[in-house]
Structure formats: structure tokens, C-alpha cells
Structure 1
Amino acid sequence: MNRKPPIIGLTGGIGSGKSAVASVFLEHGCIVANADENAKAVLLDSEVRDTLVEWWGEKILNIDGHIDRTVIADIVFEDDAALQKLESLIHPRARQMQEAQFAAAPEGTRGLVIDAPLLIEAGLDSLCEIIVYVEASREIRLNRVQKTRDWTAGELDRREAAQLPLDTKRNKADYVLINEGELDEVHRQVKQLLEDMNNRRRI
């Protein structure tokens, strides 16, 4: 009987390049569920939209009538009660989407990858056979978020302070994967990780 592919969770600091690493796993025969993309899709659901408007008013809508994720982020960033309320609405629906994506994995899939910014904080690590910590220096991570998000060093620090400490995430991981700009090296590490994992499952 064929075993189900292992579930692999990606964690790491902001700007460490988790989604880039997830793309490499995809190239090596894995299925990737992107938690951010699934959450965006959930926000397009009319029932979810109506619930959020009921909670926080039409100020959360953009000019097209869709949910403005930036406004939502500002509401919940320093309000734990609001964050828990939002997560109770979004997470179960996003989890269902993830389960459907994994259930549709074709035969021969080498792994089912969860690409989630808050893998551990959201409890998704409990689903994983393997947790991979994607590591990059603070200098590199800051450079990335300055280019892609126009963040300052202070903004990076502020955002990371709202998450688990990096050491905690790293200590929970089974593998540490270095992602500091050399794509060939990321491919090498992913290939080795999948081979090691496959060999371990044969024992």
C-alpha cells in the first residue's frame, strides 16, 4: 500500500524567502499549499466579506468593494481579541482549501508543503512530519523587505516582535535550509532533504 506523501512545513523569519523555497519544492515534485494565497481566496467569499463588514464597517472595503487586507492588518496587528476573531473566521476555511489541494495530489508526489508565515503560531506544525526552517541573515532579510515591501528596519523589527522568536522557530525545525541568494544551493538542499526524508521513511 502506498503511503501518503509527507507533509512538510516551512517556517522562518520575515524576508527569509519561504515562498521562493516553496517554489523549489514544487519543481522537485511536491505540492505546495500557500496559506497567504488561500487566505486571500477566503476573503473573496461573500459570506466572509459580509461578516467582516458587520464587525468593522465598510471602512475595510476598497474602491472595488473587496476586503482591503492592509486595513484588516492594521485593525488586528495590536489587538489580540480582534486577531483571534479574524483567525476563527479565516483559518478553518483556509484549512479546508489546503486539505483539498493535498487530497488532489497526483500519485508520485514527493511531499505536501505548507507555506505559511505563521506555521507554528497557527498550529499548522502539528500537521507536519517535517518542519524546515528557512534561514537568511537579518541583513539579507532586511534588504529583501526594503525592496519588496518598502519596509524600514524598524518596521521589520516591529512585525517580527509580533511573531515567535526566530530561535524558537529554529529549535522546532527538523532541518535548517540556508536561503541567502544562491538558487542552485537551495535546489541542492531541497534535493538532499527529500532524499533523506525518503530514506528515513523506508526504515
Structure 2
Amino acid sequence: MPIRQILAPEKSVVKYTGWLTQRKPKSVQLKRTFTYEKALPHKVYHAQLSDILSEVGFSQADVVSWRHLHTDQHGTVAVETKVGKRGQYHVHEVHSGHMVDALKELYPVLKKKKELRTSDYEYSFLRLFSLKICAVWLRADSREADFFVPLPPCFYGLEQDKLYTYAEFTDIARKAIQTLQTKTDTYDHPMQGG
């Protein structure tokens, strides 16, 4: 199977199901809801722009939370759980909309991709806030073998649902960072400071 099932920590699952119990009491039974295929637990990563520009690339990206998906008659929500300062898990954010729908719909499509049959991949989520880029990150055993699939909205020439190799995606991200830096460096405003 090309995409490994990575289970979230039990405390993360408890917070997710607790959130569902409080806010979605009429949803299907939680035991049936929390299957891998339905909840699709995955790690959320953030990467430093300076790392992407350097040779480090995405190898030092940080896991910032776990995400679980829930779908009912109202649509799909992504519930993020995060570890607090004292090691306790808490619900950090809840998202819905086109990006979450695309994330959920993409999983069965990716399982059928021929390009992904040569290795095992971890289904995860990459968020680059300052570039406004979000993507499914299919993590292999080595970063050079990773794939990325951008989620909507897409910028910098990235295409939604297209499978990008690590090298292709990194190159586009680097160009986007350089463009952003150029705009920032040339911005002249009296309130800019300096």
C-alpha cells in the first residue's frame, strides 16, 4: 500500500472525539466515525523559509499539531490538536471549507496513483503561512523521494491536485520566497521603520 496508516497519539484522539461529542452529538457513533479512512489522522508541518532557501529544504520542518477529519451532513471539518506547555493535548483549531474538502477527497485518488506505488508514504499536511501555500505532503523515508500536492487556493504557478516531486516543489517554493523577499526589500513606506 503506497500510503501508510499513521495513527495519532491516543491523547490527541481523545481530544478529537471529545470535541465531536460536545459539538456534533447527533453524528454517527464515534466508534464508527474514528476509523483511519474516515478520520484520516495526519501530522501538520510548518517549515522555516530560511531552511527552504538553504540546502536544508524541508528536512527540518516541525510537527506543530495533529489533524483529524470529521464528515457529516454539514460537510467536513479538520480538527487540530496540539500539545500544550505542560504536555497536555488540547483542541487548537477547527477548519472547514474548500481546502478541507479537497484534503479529504484527495486521499482515495492518491492511493491509486502509479507514481506512489514504488515506496511507502506518510500522508501529512504542510502549511507555509507567509507564502499562503498549503499542500498534502507525502513523506517517504528520504526527503528527496517525497511528493507534494497543493491544495486550493494555489499561487506561484502551483496546480491543485498535481503531484510534484520534492525537487519541483522546493524549486517553486524557493522562487516564491525570493519574489516575496524582493517585494519586501523594495517596499518603501514611512511606517516601515528601520
Same fold (TM over 0.5): no
TM-score of the superposed pair, with normalisation by structure 1: 0.28
Give the TM-score taking structure 2 as reference length. 0.29
Q: Of the two structures, which has the highest relative contact order with CA contacts closer than 8 Å and spacing of 6 or more?
A: 1
- Whose strand proportion is higher, 1 or 2? 2
